[in-house]
Amino acid sequence: MADTISAISTAHGVSSLSVIRVSGDKSYSIAKKISKLNNIIPRHATLNSLYDSSDELIDQAIIIYFVSPKSFTGEDIVEFQCHGGLIVAQMVLDRTVELGARLATAGEFSKRAFINGKIDLTKAEATAKLIEAKSVSAGKILARQMRGELKIFVDKTRDSLLKSLAYSEVMIDYAEEDIPDDILESLTNQLNNLDIKLNNIVQTSLRRRGLIDGFKVAIIGKPNVGKSSLLNSLLSYDRAIVSDIAGTTRDTIEEQIRIDSHIIRLIDTAGIRKAQDKIEKIGIERSISSIDEADIIISIFDGSREFDNEDEKILSLLENTEDKHIIVVINKSDLDNILDINSLKKYNPLFISTKKDVNIVTDKLTNLLNSIGDIDDIMLISTRQIEAVTVARDSIIKAKEPLQNGELEFFSYHLNDSLVAISSISKPYNSEEILDKMFGEFCLGK
C-alpha cells in the first residue's frame, strides 16, 4: 500500500491562492481532521475553516475530495485551495504531515498516476512540459500529445514492427527455404518507410526544440556594429553598456524576452575579432560557443563602414553553421551606407537603425518563430523521446542487411531492439530506474 503524500502544487511566492494536494489512503481522514468536518461530499467545492494542532484557525479554504480511482493519481486525493503567500500554504502542508502524510518528491503525483494506469509516459511528459512551455505553439503541440497523438504513433510503429517480426519468426521455421521475393520486397519496403518516418520525426523535433525550452537567439558580429544597442532596444531598457570603443562587451549577456507569443533567450555577445587581451579572448570564445548553441543567429554588420576582414570572418562563421536560422542585419541606416553588401545579399539583409526601427527585427523574429511553431506533425518533446526514436531507427537500419542475406535470426534480433526502444516512449520495460529519473525532473506537487 502506497503511503500518503502531500505537496504545495502552486508556485512558491506571493500569490492570491495556493493549492495543497494530498494523495493516498489517508487523504480523506486528514481532510476531515484538519477541517473538523464529519463528511466531505466528493467532487464538491466545500468552503470550510482549517485548523492547526492547537485548534487554532489556519485559514478558510476550499476543499475538494476526489475518491479513488476517479482522480489524477487514481488514489484518494484531497485538494485545499487556501490563500496564497509564503505562510498559509506552508502551515496547511505542515498540518497534513502531522496528520500522517509525508512530503512528496518531485513528480511523485504523476509517477503514481502512471503506475496506477491513469496516464502513459507520453501524456505525463507533455503535462510536465506544458508547465514550462515557452510559446503558445508549444502549448498546442503539448495539448495534442496530452490527447494521445504520440501514443498513437508509437502504437502504430510497434504494430508495424511486430508484423515484420511475425513474418520473420514464421520464416525461421522454414529455414532451408529462401525467403520468397514478394515477402522480401514487402519487408524491405516496410523497413525503408519506417526508417524515413523516424528520421523525419527526429529531425523536425530537433529543429523545433526551442518551442518547448525557449529558442536561443544569439546576436553576433565584429566589435562596434551595434549588438548591445540592439539588445537594449529589443529589451526597451539599457541592459548592456554601449560605447564607441570597440570591445565594450566582454562577456555574453543573456536575457529572456517575449516576442509575440514566444518567450526567447536573447544573447548579446562580445565582438568577434583577433584579440590580444586575455579576457577579451575568453569572451570571444564564448561568442563562438553561442553560435553553436543558438537556434537563431542575428548577425549584425555596420552599414556605415567598408566591408573588411573582420566582417569576412563573421560571414565565414555564418556559412559554416548548419541547421540554424540566420537573420542578417545591416545597422546604422541613419548614416550613409558604404558597406558593399554583395556577399550578404543571399541572406536578404534587413536595413535598420537600432536607434529607431528595431521593430523590423521584431517583425522578422515573429514571422520566423511563428513559422517554426506552425507544425501539424508529431513532435518529440524530450531528450528521452528523441533518444528512444533514434535507437529504434538505428536498429531498423541494422536489421536491413541480415534481411537481404537471409539471416533471419539477426534480423529478428535487431527488430526486437527497435521494438523495445519505441515502446519505451509510452511504457518502459525496466521501469523503476527510468521512472525515477524521468519523474524526478518534474515540478514538486505535479
Ligand X SMILES: Nc1nc2c(ncn2[C@@H]2O[C@H](COP(=O)(O)OP(=O)(O)OP(=O)(O)O)[C@@H](O)[C@H]2O)c(=O)[nH]1
Which positions from 260 to 299 touch ligand X by CB under 6 A, shown as an x/- string?
----------xx----------------------------
Q: Is 145 in the site for Mg ion (CB under 5 A)?
A: no
Q: Which stretch binds ligand X (CB under 6 A): 7-15, 113-121, 190-198, 226-234?
A: 226-234
Q: Which is nearer to ligand X, 228 or 426 (CB)?
A: 228
The C-alpha atoms of residue 252 and residue 254 are separated, in whole angstroms, by 7
CB of 280 to ligand X, least distance (A): 10
Cα dihedral 326, 140, 130, 148 sign: negative
Q: Is 71 in the site for Mg ion (CB under 5 A)?
A: no
Q: Which is nearer to ligand X, 358 or 378 (CB)?
A: 358
Q: Is 269 in the site for Mg ion (CB under 5 A)?
A: no
Residues 103-122 within binding reach of ligand X (CB under 6 A): none
The C-alpha atoms of residue 242 and residue 230 are separated, in whole angstroms, by 10
Q: Is 27 in the site for Mg ion (CB under 5 A)?
A: no
**Number of residues this chain uses to bind ligand X (CB under 6 A):** 24
What, of ligand X, Mg ion, none, does residue 134 touch, CB below 5 to 8 Å by kind?
Answer: none
In the set 247, 362, 400, 443, which binds ligand X (CB under 6 A)? 247
Residues 198-257 within binding reach of Mg ion (CB under 5 A): 227-228, 248-249
Q: Are 131 and 446 in contact (CB under 8 A)?
A: yes
CB of 364 to Mg ion, least distance (A): 21
Q: Which stretch binds ligand X (CB under 6 A): 129-137, 152-160, 241-249, 431-439?
A: 241-249
The three state secondary structure string of the chain is CCCCEEEECCCCCCCCEEEEEEECCCHHHHHHHHHCCCCCCCCCCEEEEEECCCCCEEEEEEEEEECCCCCCCCCCEEEEEEECCCCHHHHHHHHHHHCCCEECCCCHHHHHHHHCCCCCHHHHHHHHHHHHCCEHHHHHHHHHHHCCHHHHHHHHHHHHHHHHHHHHHHHHCCCCCCCCHHHHHHHHHHHHHHHHHHHHHHHHHHHCCHHHHCCEEEEECCCCCCHHHHHHHHHCCCCCCCCCCCCCCCCCEEEEEEECCEEEEEEECCCCCCCCCHHHHHHHHHHHHHHHHCCEEEEEEECCCCCCHHHHHHHHHHHCCCCCEEEEEEECCCCCCCCCCHHHHHHCCEECCCCCCCHHHHHHHHHHHHHHHCCCCCCCCCHHHHHHHHHHHHHHHHHHHHHHCCCHHHHHHHHHHHHHHHHCCCCCCCHHHHHHHHHCCCCCCC
Q: State which residue has the least CB distance to ligand X.
A: 271
In the set 228, 385, 424, 426, which binds ligand X (CB under 6 A)? 228
CB of 227 to Mg ion, least distance (A): 5
Q: Which stretch binds ligand X (CB under 6 A): 223-231, 256-264, 338-346, 394-402?
A: 223-231
The C-alpha atoms of residue 158 and residue 369 are separated, in whole angstroms, by 33
What, of ligand X, Mg ion, none, does residue 247 touch, CB below 5 to 8 Å by kind?
Answer: ligand X
Q: Are 110 and 124 in contact (CB under 8 A)?
A: yes
- If we measure between CA atoms, which residue out of 231, 242, 247, 354 comes closest to residue 310? 247
CB of 325 to Mg ion, least distance (A): 22
In the set 74, 226, 349, 373, which binds ligand X (CB under 6 A)? 226
CA contacts within 13 A on the Cβ side of 178: 7
Q: Is 331 in the site for Mg ion (CB under 5 A)?
A: no
Q: Which is nearer to ligand X, 164 or 228 (CB)?
A: 228
Q: Is 249 in the site for ligand X (CB under 6 A)?
A: yes
Which positions from 150 to 189 touch ligand X by CB under 6 A, shown as an x/- string?
----------------------------------------
Question: How many other CB atoms are found less than 10 A from the CB of residue 133?
Answer: 21
What, of Mg ion, ligand X, none, does residue 355 touch, CB below 5 to 8 Å by kind?
Answer: ligand X
Q: Which is nearer to Mg ion, 202 or 291 (CB)?
A: 291
What, of Mg ion, ligand X, none, does residue 354 touch, CB below 5 to 8 Å by kind?
Answer: ligand X
Q: Which is nearer to ligand X, 200 or 243 (CB)?
A: 243
Q: Is 335 in the site for ligand X (CB under 6 A)?
A: yes
Which positions from 92 to 131 touch Mg ion by CB under 5 A, shown as an x/- string?
----------------------------------------
Give me the residues that bind Mg ion (CB under 5 A), please: 227-228, 248-249
Give me the residues that bind ligand X (CB under 6 A), please: 221, 223-229, 242-244, 246-249, 270-271, 331-332, 334-335, 353-355
